[in-house]
Amino acid sequence: MVSVTRAVFGDLPLGAGTVEKFQLQSDLLRVDIISWGCTITALEVKDRQGRASDVVLGFAELEGYLQKQPYFGAVVGRVANRIAKGTFTLDGKEYKLAINNGPNSLHGGVRGFDKVLWTPQVLSNGVQFSRVSPDGEEGYPGELKVWVTYTLDGGELMVNYRAQSNQTTPVNLTNHSYFNLAGQGSPNIYDHEVTIEADAFLPVDETLIPTGEVVPVQGTAFDMRKPVELGKHLQEFHINGFDHNFCLKGSNEKHFCARSVAGSDSYSKDASSVYPSLPAFLPWTCVYVAWLISRVHHAGSGRVLEVYTTQPGVQFYTGNFLDGTLTGKSGAVYRKHSGFCLETQNWPDAVNQPHFPPVLLRPGEEYEHTTWFKFSVA
């Protein structure tokens, strides 16, 4: 049984509107989501002793989300991740986007989907948010209608994304929650054991744009197909952290498959042509099935997070740019590596990389993807 309650979270400056908070609660989880950026502000999970702790980074007050901050808990778009130099060409026309991350456009631009007020609708087991992104917003073509739905079922939080456009436009939506399974305010994530079911990853240049290569994880720091303890793993490979897209594998085997969902037949390129050094993969049309992509275990509390998705990629980010300048809930100071993100999404800069999975939404089509965050105790 899930309860849904609604309350005022705060008022935007200059009479720009009221931000509401929606609390979804089951026997196993409690999730708080606000209408500003469809943002998850709190997520309480029980440990092996039955004690609940908040496992996401964020702020107790609206003012925290209105300051410059790294997308804590928000839905980002119109295109998540980076687009090289903030430009792309579509049907012979060049589009210039807002530049907000070095030379690139990141997470939708200066005023992306995380910095707008969404219209909520309460459901029996969740909440749906909607908005219309006008033609030309942050440089993107077409009017885009968007729906983001959060529903709760026991220990599983599902996030569904839908969009429709009246012009061809790139779309790539994700949630940018920062997790720390030890409990919000814990100093780092080094004692988390991480598994990512990916046989390949995307190397990046100095501005974190994919080079275009698709590289096997075998023998690299990116091989987390078997559990690794994060702190020891970073030390062993002498790396600063992760901020990379992992290419989720298709397989004819049925293990790890959580459930089937409707796919798209708009693109039938054989993915094995992109992964020439890897075993044969399914076509991109078959990538849009939900499977377990990641499992994170915190031994101290016993908490486990499993992530399932219908997307072809996940950006694993270890909070490398957190620098201690932000103070969050209960006075917690957010320093480097104090949280991790598993941003399920299309591959970064796909609009400029024709051999990446397709990112364009055309009139008459519907963009739809789902991600499941499943919490348990081990």
- Clarify whether 107 is annotated catalytic: no
- Clarify whether 176 is annotated catalytic: yes
User: Tens digits of per-residue pLDDT, 114-172?
Assistant: 999 999 999 999 999 999 999 999 999 999 999 999 999 999 999 999 999 999 999 99
According to the annotation, is 308 in a ligand binding site?
no
Question: Which of 321, 347, 374, 106 has the alpha carbon at shortest distance from 246?
Answer: 347
CA distance linking residue 230 with residue 123, whole number of Å:
38
- DSSP track, 72-120: TT-EE-SB-SEEGGGEEEETTEEEEPPP-BTTBEETTSTT-GGGSBPEE
- DSSP track, 222-268: T--SS-EEHHHHHHHHT----EEEEEEPP-SS-TTEEE------S--
H-type alpha helices, 60-173: 62-66
Token representation of residue 219: 């023998």
In three-state secondary structure terms, 148 is strand
Query: In the prediction, which pLDDT does 283 show?
Result: 41
CA distance linking residue 167 with residue 363, whole number of Å:
6
Q: Which residues make beta-bridge pairs with 372?
A: 158, 308
Which pTM value belongs to this model?
A: 0.91
Query: In the prediction, which pLDDT does 277 show?
Result: 38
According to the annotation, is 186 in a ligand binding site?
no
Query: In the prediction, which pLDDT does 292 show?
Result: 85
| CA 34 from centroid of its chain's CA atoms | 17
Question: Which amino acid belongs to residue 363?
Answer: P
In the chain, which stretches have pLDDT less than 70? Answer: 249-290
According to the annotation, is 243 in a ligand binding site?
yes
According to the annotation, is 140 in a ligand binding site?
no
The owner of tokens 């007050």 is 61
Domains of the chain: 3-255+286-377 (2.70.98.10)
According to the annotation, is 82 in a ligand binding site?
yes
Token representation of residue 132: 């219309």
Single out the catalytic residue among 20, 44, 306, 343: 343
Q: How many alpha carbons fall within 13 Å on the CB side of residue 32?
A: 19
Q: Please say whether the beta carbons of 118 and 35 come within 8 A.
A: yes
Single out the catalytic residue among 176, 192, 297, 298: 176
According to the annotation, is 252 in a ligand binding site?
no
H-type alpha helices, the chain: 62-66, 230-237
Q: Strands 215-216 and 198-201, how do they pair?
A: antiparallel
CA distance linking residue 2 with residue 307, whole number of Å:
21
Q: Please say whether the beta carbons of 250 and 171 come within 8 A.
A: no
Q: Please say whether the beta carbons of 196 and 316 come within 8 A.
A: yes
